[in-house]
Structure 1
Amino acid sequence: MKKSLVFWVEEYFYNPNFLQKLLSFLLLPLSWVYCLGMFIRFKSKTPVDFEIDIVSVGNLSVGGSGKTPLVTTLASRYKDAAVVLRGYGRSSNGLYVVKDRDTVLCDVNISGDEAMIYAHKLPNAIVIVSEDRPLGIQKAKEMGAKIVFLDDAYSKHDIKKLDLLIDVKTKNNRCLPSGAFRERLWSYKEAIVLEDGKDFKRVVNLKNKSAKMSLVTAIARPSRLDEFLPEVVSKNYFEDHHKFTKKELEEILKKDSSESLLLTYKDFVKVESFNLPISLLDLDVQVDEKIFSRIDNYRGKD
């Protein structure tokens, strides 16, 4: 039931049918109230200078946009970097240092899947999960970070930072609950909007390929993977951040008579201990040098 609801909501937000469009129209008054509330919230905040360079990478809509590989590429360029994120889907609460500069300090249940990706892919960076982003920033400073990357923090208007926003295309550009937008790009707030294919380009590496692979993934809007997929026996979609069991994955292998499961890195970090045959759809991005220049110019400001 939960899985069906999640996919219905994703369709409603990004590719609505006639009945969903009608529902969206009927909910417009609530969207206007919501959007006004978010604007008032924005205007009521005063950005606090944490005396450290902070770059936020996010998007205005709900659902996936490819923030994690973009943050990974950006953070890998800088020494003494830290990544601070909420850690959505984790079984823990509060602040945890997932990784110091050298060592992963907890498991994926405590960190959440996205934080564990950073821990694996950024060997020299600090990774911290915290619902309280200012607390996470302060911890990163204490640990010696010189630049902090925030995953999905546009709405944290009380933090002085450089905002990078991924432009997500949708046929429904209204605010919640009529559409997918959590917030607008307020004209009073400076942000750099990044376009996929123009400011950055996605690159996929297929690792440990087998002749018969079953795609298994728990990412938001999994159809985003279609353009990168090799031939697969089946596509098995789960709701975003789903916690897999070894049994359900073994059943997919058996049902399809597959030689391996094809996973994204976000899925892989949750199941690597299962000792199952895995092929990896490893997504990276190539970033236009002008984006790094914008970050460097921001860091040069007084």
Structure 2
Amino acid sequence: MKRFLIRWGEGYLYRPSLLQKLFSILLLPLSALYCLCAYIRYRRSVPKNQGIPVVSVGNLVVGGSGKTPLVIELARRFAKPAVVLRGYGRSSRGMVVVKDRDILCDIAQSGDEAMLYAKSLPHGVVIVSEIRERAIAEAKAIGCDVVLLDDGYGKHAIEKLDVLIRVKTPNPFCLPSGAYREKLWKGKEALIAEEGETFTRRVSVQNPTRKMVLVTAIARPERLDPYLPEVVEKVYFEDHHPFTPGELEAIVKRTGATSLLVTQKDFVKMASFNLNLTVLELSLDVDEAFIEQVKEYVNAKKD
């Protein structure tokens, strides 16, 4: 039932049927109230310098946008970056230093995205915390030279450069009528990143087999469709789902697959299982002029 509701919600926000469009219109008064509250919150916030350059990478809408590979590419351009994120799906609470030289906790404590960052950035620090300011202060104390804030546009009290990935949606309204959590408010500057202009994707398939079944737990998994090799079936779980060996073995048995085709975010949760995995590896080619804009901001904040 939960999986059905998630898929229905993603369809409602990004591929609405006629009935869903009508439902969206009925909810417009609630959307106006939600948007007004978000705007008042923005206007009441005073950005505070954190004593270290902060760059936020995210988007304005709910659901996935491909921010993780962009954060990774930006982090690779700095000597000692820190990635700070909330850590959705983790079993821990409070602040946890996931990586500082070595990985310091398991995936249950870090969450899947944080562990992917930890494994992808040999020279990076990764910290999860519900209170981002606390994690930023810890990154500064460790000696990092920049903080990459995962999905932090709405943290208006933090002085930062906002990088927003443009996500196309047929519905321009705020929740619950549309997909927008916030708007790009007047007076709020941001660098806009767009696929095909700011960056292009590179996808490779590691360990392909004859009969693969796609199993993934990411938001809006249909985003993978243009990059998929031939698969016998697609099995979608809710974002950040904690896989178990038993449920994956059942999928293999039912489909007769010779391997599970998974994303890198899924792989970090399955790597310890005794299963044959094919990994869909995604990376970005980012426009150098865009990267220079980010570097200019960071260098200016260091001076």
- Residue 296 of structure 1: how far off its partner (Å): 1.6
RMSD: 0.8
Unaligned runs of 5+ residues in structure 2 are none
Q: Is 1:13 aligned with 2:17?
A: no
Partner SS state of residue 189, structure 2:
coil
Query: How far does the alpha carbon of each residue in 1:10-65 deviate from its partner, in whole angstroms, 9 at most, with x for none?
Result: 11111100111011000001111110111100000000001211100010000100
Return the offset for 1:172: 1.3
- Segments of structure 1 that go 5 or more residues without pairing to the other structure are none
Q: Is the contact made by 2:103 and 2:118 (CA closer than 8 Å) also made in structure 1?
A: yes
Q: Quick check: 1:115–1:127 contact (8 Å CA) kept in 2? A: yes
Provide the C-alpha distance between the structure 1 equivalents of 2:220 and 2:122, rounded to a whole number of angstroms: 29
Q: Matches of 2:23 and 2:188 in 1, distance apart?
A: 31
Contact 1:15–1:172 (CA<8 Å) still a contact in 2? no
* Equivalent residue number for residue 23 of structure 2: 23
1:116 and 2:123 correspond: no
Instruction: Describe how 1:164-243 pairs up with structure 2 within 5 A.
Output: 164-243=163-242
Q: Given the alignment of the two structures, is residue 85 of structure 1 paired with residue 90 of structure 2, yes or no? A: no
- Percent of aligned pairs with the same amino acid: 57
Q: TM-score, normalised by structure 2?
A: 0.98
Deviations 1:120-167 (A, max 9, x none): 000000000001000000000011101000000000000010000000
**SS at the partner of 2:282?**
strand
Alpha-carbon distance in 1 for matches of 2:114, 2:166 = 22
| CA displacement 1:182-207 (0-9 Å, x = unmatched) | 00001211101111111011111110
Residues 221-276 of structure 1, C-alpha deviations (whole Å, 9 max, x = no match): 10000000000111111111111110111111111111110000111111111121
Q: How many residues align?
A: 301
2-structure distance, mates of 1:23, 1:89:
30
User: What's the TM-score once normalised by structure 1's chain length?
Assistant: 0.98
Q: Check whether the contact 1:218–1:241 (CA below 8 A) recurs between aligned residues.
A: yes
Structure 1 residue 245 and structure 2 residue 208: aligned? no
Report the Cα offset of residue 211 of structure 1. 1.0
Q: CA deviation at 1:291?
A: 1.3
* Shift of residue 173, structure 1, vs aligned partner: 1.8
- Name the aligned partner's letter for residue 245 of structure 1: T
Distance 1:104 1:117 in 2: 11
1:55–1:161: 8 Å Cα contact kept in structure 2?
yes
1:300 match: 299
